[in-house]
């Protein structure tokens, strides 16, 4: 007899497939373009084929009688009550919806820009997987340092505005540096770890469907290539060739349908946490450092000047991916950073007076 976990998985997979089939049936009904209507209809049929597999597996459990199966189902329901508790924003996701994301993206891109060729449509549909991915590491690095700089700069100016002595300002800056860096590192570790766990879950379900419905998976892969502009006959030939090797098929489906690199799975959480800690600390050190060798107004002036230099550097680096000139980006970064620090200094001054 199927275990509680298996019954729960069968029922969940059946619901996912039926939901997806209904979505694609609706898209096929309202789509005016014949080719896209056919693709949506094929996707709906594929979903129903998947659903039949899980329906048959559930039907097989009924041969043992409801009195035997019902307790197991009840236990499975209870165990599943917090299924999405630790997956914010993923409540309505299913593995099948992720699998078809690439198809819908490609179709949508072609519909938005029908005058472009297939290559440009694919680029538009998958820009997040190519150009955006290439700049994400640099963007994350620069913004991590910027967070440390701005947050600690504002914190220090707020305490300085309240009239605190040099020792208190220095202690506040160092505490803000350590606390902020630890918080950023922990957040990055959790983010990457959760992304890896979600990727593993999606890969496991993809492998499960490859095992149980290989024909449907081959059909879906062919549809993906068709949606990207490949001739239907050629798409079916390529899909059939790929499906001959299960490992290659799983890797291809993971990349094409789920947008997952099986070798990376979102990166290393420990290295990501370490980099985040270091970059935040580097940024936070700019406004803090002057209080190590200077005092009073001199230390505050040097902190402002050094922070402005750091903001300018951040602005120059952001110009690499925001399309603006280095001068404009640096100036904008300085103005916004100084304005934020001035605001917190004023708030600190008011609080210092009211509490004294």
Which own/partner contact pairs does 182-189 have at CB distance under 8 Å and 24+ positions apart? Answer: 182/277, 184/144, 184/147, 184/148, 184/276, 184/277, 184/280, 185/273, 185/274, 185/276, 185/277, 185/280, 186/273, 187/276, 188/269, 188/272, 188/273, 188/275, 188/276, 189/269, 189/270, 189/272, 189/273
> Residue 318 and residue 147: Cα distance in Å, rounded?
13
Q: What is the pTM of this model?
A: 0.55
**What average pLDDT does this structure show over 195-203?**
80
**What average pLDDT does this structure show over 164-179?**
90
At residue 31 the predicted structure's pLDDT band, cuts being 50, 70 and 90, is confident
At residue 3 the predicted structure's pLDDT band, cuts being 50, 70 and 90, is low
For 229-280, write each residue's pLDDT tens digit.
788 888 888 888 888 887 888 887 777 766 777 777 767 788 888 888 998 9
Q: Is the pLDDT of residue 220 over 60?
A: yes
At residue 306 the predicted structure's pLDDT band, cuts being 50, 70 and 90, is very high
For 153-168, write each residue's pLDDT tens digit.
999 998 988 888 888 8
| Residue that wins the pLDDT comparison between 229 and 67 | 229
> In the prediction, which pLDDT does 137 show?
59
Q: Is the pLDDT of residue 144 over 50?
A: yes
Q: Is the pLDDT of residue 9 over 60?
A: yes
Q: Is the pLDDT of residue 325 over 70?
A: yes
**CA proximity to 27, closest of 45, 17, 40:** 40
Provide the residue ranges of all domains of the chain, joining segments of one domain with +.
Answer: 1-75, 136-192+270-355
At residue 74 the predicted structure's pLDDT band, cuts being 50, 70 and 90, is very low
**What average pLDDT does this structure show over 96-101?**
49
Q: Is the pLDDT of residue 309 over 90?
A: yes
How many other CB atoms are found less than 10 A from the CB of residue 110?
23
For 36-52, write each residue's pLDDT tens digit.
888 888 888 888 888 88
For 116-129, write each residue's pLDDT tens digit.
444 333 333 343 34
At residue 178 the predicted structure's pLDDT band, cuts being 50, 70 and 90, is very high
> In the prediction, which pLDDT does 85 show?
44
């Amino acid at each position: 007899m199927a275990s509680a976990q298996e019954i729960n998985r069968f029922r969940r997979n059946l619901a996912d497939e039926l939901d997806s089939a209904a979505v694609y049936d609706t898209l096929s009904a309202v789509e005016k373009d014949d080719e896209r209507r056919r693709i949506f209809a094929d996707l709906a049929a594929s979903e129903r084929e998947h659903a039949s597999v899980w329906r048959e597996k559930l039907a097989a459990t009924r041969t043992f009688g409801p009195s035997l199966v019902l307790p197991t189902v009840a236990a499975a329901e209870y165990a599943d009550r917090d299924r999405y508790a630790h997956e914010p924003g993923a409540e309505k996701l299913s593995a099948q919806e992720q699998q078809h994301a690439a198809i819908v993206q490609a179709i949508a891109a072609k519909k938005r820009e029908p005058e472009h060729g297939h290559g440009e449509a694919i680029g538009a549909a998958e820009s997040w997987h190519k150009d955006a991915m290439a700049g994400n590491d640099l963007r994350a690095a620069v913004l991590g340092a910027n967070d440390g700089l701005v947050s600690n700069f504002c914190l220090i100016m707020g305490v300085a505005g309240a009239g605190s002595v040099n020792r208190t300002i220095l202690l506040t800056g160092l505490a803000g540096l350590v606390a902020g860096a630890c918080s950023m590192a922990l957040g990055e570790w959790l983010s990457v770890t959760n992304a890896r766990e979600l990727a593993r879950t999606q890969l496991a379900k993809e492998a499960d469907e490859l095992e149980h419905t290989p024909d449907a998976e081959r059909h879906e892969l062919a549809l993906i290539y068709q949606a990207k502009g490949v001739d239907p006959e050629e798409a079916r030939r390529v899909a059939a060739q790929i499906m001959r090797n299960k490992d290659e098929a799983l890797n291809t489906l993971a990349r094409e349908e789920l947008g997952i690199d099986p070798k990376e799975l979102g990166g290393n959480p420990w290295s990501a946490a370490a980099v985040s800690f270091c970059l935040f600390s580097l940024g936070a050190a700019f406004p803090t450092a002057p209080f190590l060798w200077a005092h009073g107004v001199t230390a505050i002036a040097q902190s402002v000047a050094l922070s402005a230099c750091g903001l300018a550097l951040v602005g120059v680096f952001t110009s690499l991916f925001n399309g603006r000139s280095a001068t404009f980006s640096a100036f904008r970064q300085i103005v916004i950073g100084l304005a934020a620090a001035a605001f917190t200094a004023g708030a600190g001054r008011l609080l210092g007076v009211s509490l004294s």
